[in-house]
Structure 1
Amino acid sequence: MSKQVKSYSKDEFLTLVKEKSGLTKADSARALNAIFDSLEDILSKGNKVSFVGYGSFSVGHRAAREGHNPQTGQKIKIKASNVVKFSPGKVLKEAVNKKK
C-alpha cells in the first residue's frame, strides 16, 4: 500500500513559514518572493546557487531531439532548452530518509 502524498500550495507553505519563523504571513510572502526572484535572476544567467547541507540549484542544457505525439504517434521535433536541476545535500537526504 502506498502512502498518500500531500501537495502543498504556496499559501499553505507560507503558513508553515510564518509559524516556524515568527514573521507575519505578509513578511513571509515577501521573503519567499524575494528568494524566488533571486533564484530566477541567478539561474537565468547560467550561475549556480548552493545551500550547504540542503542542496544546489543549477542550469543544465537539453539538446534538441525527436519525439512523438502520444495521441497520434506522429513524430515531432523538440527544441533544445535549458532546464533547472536540483541536487539535494546530505542534510536534506538524511531528513527525507529518517524513519519516524
Structure 2
Amino acid sequence: MSINRTELVAQMAERSGLTKAQADSALGAFQSVIIDALSEGESVRVTGLLSVERVERAARTGRNPRTGEEIQIPAGFGVKLTAGSTLKAAVGK
C-alpha cells in the first residue's frame, strides 16, 4: 500500500488545519526547496526525518541486458536519501 500525492495532501490538511489547497502549496514548496538545493549541490536535512543529498557517480562499464554487449555509462549524479532517527524508530515498530 502507498499514499499518493492527493492522499498525502488530504492528510497534511487534516492534521495541520490547513485547507487542501494550502497543504498542496506547502508540499509543492517543500519539493521545490529540495530540488533547488540538490541542483546547487547542497544537501537538505530535516532532523529526525530524513537527509537528502546529491552524490557523484563515476563513469563505469555496464552491460546491455539484451545483447550482453559492454557499454560505457558516463559519470553523473544521483540522489541519496537517508532516514532520520525518528523515521527509523517508527518503521522499526
Q: TM-score, normalised by structure 1?
A: 0.85
Query: Which of 36, 39, 42 is equivalent to 1:44?
Result: 39
Runs of 4+ with >4 A deviation: none
Q: Can you give the 5+ residue segments of structure 1 that lack an aligned partner in the other structure?
A: 1-5
Which among 9, 12, 18 is matched to residue 4 of structure 2? 9
Q: Give the count of matched residue pairs.
A: 93
Percent identity for Structure 1 against Structure 2? 42
Distance in structure 1 (CA, Å) of the matches to 2:72 and 2:11: 42
Give SS of 2:41's match: coil
Among 22, 33, 40, which residue is 2:17 paired with? 22
Q: What is the TM-score with the length of structure 2 in the denominator?
A: 0.91
TM-fit CA distance, 1:13: 1.5
Q: Give the Å deviation of 1:45.
A: 0.7
Q: Secondary structure at the match of 1:19?
A: helix
One-letter amino acid of the structure 2 residue matched with residue 85 of structure 1: K
Deviations 1:13-65 (A, max 9, x none): 11221221121111111100000001111111111111111121111111011
